[in-house]
């Protein structure tokens, strides 16, 4: 009686440290092994232990664009999770909860909702003899209820715990089976959700946004990385700490963010591709040296995984509010480039592009990711490193003559001499300087050098494809979204079109300087421009107004969570009236 569903969202909620995240991960991995597309989403408190943690996994046959609007199945590990999610339960949803013997003390009977009590705590304590196996019991039950391949879950357990020994693997298998058996003997399935397995998984990986940034850097040829730990960016450093030394590169954990960017500038001056990663407060600290890199014309890549600010703000929550800081947060006029990835796959390829732009134009390039994207895992096609375009800086070869490090050129880019190059010695400096690099403050020189540095930004729209346009004939409404809101907007646009509305969309991956050719064209074709973004001031909307004069409809939320497709679709409907 259960119909096959091609798009299913399971949410796990419970106490932090209870195995919520590993349950979600395990289900996600198993689904990818079964050939499904997967996208996960998690939120957790800023404390190490305790507090409500949530992990949601969405599976489908086709590419998944966002974490979705709500969920189909809720798995409540404790009373708090149950209470927090009850209001989101819709007619036809399924609820699995730990009862009896767990923290939830009452049997649930919510009208319209399929409620399945699974005594996960009791089974894990009494039958398995290990309280920590609760999440495995849960997974067995979930797999049985929604036809998720047990074989694939076993495979994931084997590869995850194999190293820890056969005993651990066996114990997990036993817990898994106990969960399944409980459902088989005690529960009559009444909901309609059933996960169909997909095509065979081929050339697919599942990776988090933060790891994807690290992978992009590694594929681009990063050789030096320095960072200071900060949520939600630290996993970028974890990734490179593991893998960079294998590539004979070095990772230096610096004493603070200022030292991190300083280290990176030194390493890049010395000729290596170098990068740092941070989050808002760290990016604030780095600004003086980002300006210095801009002035010295040293290529650097900075990944900023945005969180809720200002100040310590919402350290584990989602926000897109560092755009002003990334674009303008520096004293003086300091050219830099800001890219913002839409999803996990973009995290890989835009990071590669960030290195290309930094190297090509010899300036700082930022990758603006965000907390929900950094922590999200998603399936993606295996990248093929041999197919990448990799750009390296134009170097002075030391063939004699009068070397001028800051030579005024048509493109604003001058060949860079790497230490060791005979005849190429120069002083890289934050002071205004002549072509030779010697300090010079005359008005003519200052103007020429300022123009030279800014010239580099002129042709970015030709150097790489910075926007994706999705025009619909006759549309009067145009949506512009950036960063991880793009995926949500894509779904919202699809939803609105399905409801008969005409709407176009523009998705800039380059958010500073603005890709004005594409933006002006798009604005010119639509009567109303809607810009949804997760910040208070409508930062992209304001930048667009400043550069184009167009005043868009700015739709902002700033509660610490991303948009849902339903919210944006609703807004499109509202403004189309």
Which pair of structure tokens corresponds to residue 141?
Answer: 């039950």
Closest CB to another protein among residues 105, 386: 386
Cβ(361)–Cβ(325) below 8 Å: no
Point out which residues bind another protein (CB under 8 A).
Answer: 28-30, 32-33, 156, 159, 201, 204-207, 211, 215, 218-219, 223-224, 226, 242-243, 245-250, 252, 254-256, 258-260, 262-272, 274, 288-289, 292, 296, 382-383, 385, 417, 419-431, 438-439
Closest CB to another protein among residues 425, 551: 425
Closest CB to another protein among residues 214, 371: 214
Closest CB to another protein among residues 185, 248: 248
**Shortest distance in whole angstroms from residue 122 CB to another protein:** 31
**Shortest distance in whole angstroms from residue 219 CB to another protein:** 5
Integer Cα distance of 191 and 437 in angstroms: 72
Integer Cα distance of 100 and 222 in angstroms: 53
**Shortest distance in whole angstroms from residue 118 CB to another protein:** 25
Which pair of structure tokens corresponds to residue 190?
Answer: 């009444």
Give bridge partners of residue 467 from the DSSP assignment.
508
**Shortest distance in whole angstroms from residue 330 CB to another protein:** 12
**Shortest distance in whole angstroms from residue 474 CB to another protein:** 43
Give bridge partners of residue 15 from the DSSP assignment.
52
**Shortest distance in whole angstroms from residue 429 CB to another protein:** 4
Integer Cα distance of 279 and 302 in angstroms: 10
Residues, the chain: 577
Closest CB to another protein among residues 34, 316: 34
Closest CB to another protein among residues 92, 439: 439
Which pair of structure tokens corresponds to residue 112?
Answer: 């319209």
Residue whose C-alpha is closest to residue 522's, from 482, 470, 576: 470
Closest CB to another protein among residues 33, 526: 33
DSSP 154-221: HHHHHHHHGGG-HHHHHHHHHHHHHHHHHHHHH----S---BPP-SPP-SEEEEEHHHHHHHHHHHHT
Closest CB to another protein among residues 158, 190: 158
**Shortest distance in whole angstroms from residue 40 CB to another protein:** 12
Integer Cα distance of 459 and 463 in angstroms: 6
Residue whose C-alpha is closest to residue 480's, from 570, 534, 549, 540: 540
**Shortest distance in whole angstroms from residue 552 CB to another protein:** 37
Sorted by sequence, the CB contacts under 8 Å of residue 387 that are 6+ apart come out as none
**Shortest distance in whole angstroms from residue 423 CB to another protein:** 8
Measured on CA atoms in the order 256, 262, 264, 270, is the torsion positive or negative? negative
Helix (H, G, I), strand (E, B) or coil at 151: helix
Integer Cα distance of 57 and 59 in angstroms: 7
Closest CB to another protein among residues 252, 561: 252
Closest CB to another protein among residues 88, 441: 441
Q: How far apart are the first and last CA of the chain?
A: 41
**Shortest distance in whole angstroms from residue 206 CB to another protein:** 5
Which pair of structure tokens corresponds to residue 477?
Answer: 């409404």
Cβ(564)–Cβ(491) below 8 Å: no
């Amino acid at each position: 009686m259960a119909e096959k569903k091609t798009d299913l969202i399971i949410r796990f909620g419970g106490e932090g440290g209870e195995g919520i995240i590993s349950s979600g991960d395990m289900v996600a991995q198993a689904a990818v092994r079964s050939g499904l597309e997967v996208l996960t989403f998690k939120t957790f408190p800023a404390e190490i232990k305790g507090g409500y943690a949530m992990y949601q996994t969405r599976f489908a046959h086709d590419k998944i664009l966002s974490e979705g609007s709500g969920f189909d199945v809720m798995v409540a590990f404790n009373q708090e999770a149950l209470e927090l999610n009850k209001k989101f339960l819709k007619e036809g949803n399924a609820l699995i909860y730990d009862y009896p013997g767990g923290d939830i003390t009452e049997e649930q009977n919510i009208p319209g909702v399929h409620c399945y009590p699974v005594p996960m705590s009791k089974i894990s304590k009494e039958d398995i003899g290990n309280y920590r196996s609760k999440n495995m019991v849960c997974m067995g039950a979930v797999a049985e209820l929604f036809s998720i391949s047990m074989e694939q879950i076993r495979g994931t357990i084997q590869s995850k715990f194999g190293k820890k020994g056969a005993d651990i693997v066996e114990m997990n298998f036993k817990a898994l089976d106990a969960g399944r058996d409980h459902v088989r003997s005690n529960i009559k399935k009444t909901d309609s959700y059933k996960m169909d397995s997909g095509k065979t998984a081929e050339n697919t990986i599942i990776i988090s946004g933060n790891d994807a940034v690290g992978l992009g850097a590694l594929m681009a040829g990063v050789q030096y990385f320095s960072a200071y730990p900060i949520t939600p960016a630290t996993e970028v450093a974890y990734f490179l700490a593991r893998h960079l030394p294998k590539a004979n590169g070095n990772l230096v954990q610096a004493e603070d963010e200022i030292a991190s960017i300083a280290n990176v500038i030194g390493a890049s001056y010395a000729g290596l591709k170098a990068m740092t990663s941070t989050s808002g407060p760290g990016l604030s600290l780095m600004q003086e040296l980002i300006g210095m890199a801009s002035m010295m014309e040293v290529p650097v890549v900075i990944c900023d995984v945005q969180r809720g600010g200002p100040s310590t703000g919402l350290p584990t929550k989602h926000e897109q509010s560092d755009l002003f800081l990334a674009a303008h947060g520096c004293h003086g006029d300091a050219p830099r480039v800001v890219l913002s990835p839409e999803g996990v796959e973009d995290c890989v390829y835009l990071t590669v592009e960030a290195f290309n732009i930094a190297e090509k134009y010899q300036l700082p390039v930022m990758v603006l990711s965000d907390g929900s994207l950094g922590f999200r895992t998603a399936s993606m096609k295996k990248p093929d490193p041999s197919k990448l375009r990799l750009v390296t800086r134009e170097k002075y070869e030391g063939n004699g003559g009068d070397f001028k490090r800051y030579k005024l050129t048509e493109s604003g880019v001058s060949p860079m001499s790497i230490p060791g190059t005979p005849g190429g010695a120069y002083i890289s400096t934050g002071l205004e300087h002549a072509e030779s690099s010697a300090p010079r403050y005359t008005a003519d020189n200052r103007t020429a050098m300022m123009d030279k540095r800014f010239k580099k930004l002129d042709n970015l729209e030709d150097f790489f494809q910075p926007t994706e346009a999705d025009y619909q004939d006759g549309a009067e409404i145009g949506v512009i979204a950036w960063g991880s809101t793009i995926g949500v907007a894509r779904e919202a646009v699809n939803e609105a079109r399905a409801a008969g509305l005409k709407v176009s969309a523009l998705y800039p991956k380059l958010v500073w300087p603005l890709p004005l050719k594409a933006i002006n064209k798009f604005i010119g074709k639509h009567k109303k421009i809607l810009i949804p973004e997760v910040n208070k001031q409508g930062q992209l909307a304001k930048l667009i107004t400043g550069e184009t004069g167009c005043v868009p409809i700015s739709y902002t939320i700033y509660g610490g969570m991303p948009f849902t497709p339903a919210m944006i679709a609703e807004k499109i409907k509202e403004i189309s009236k």
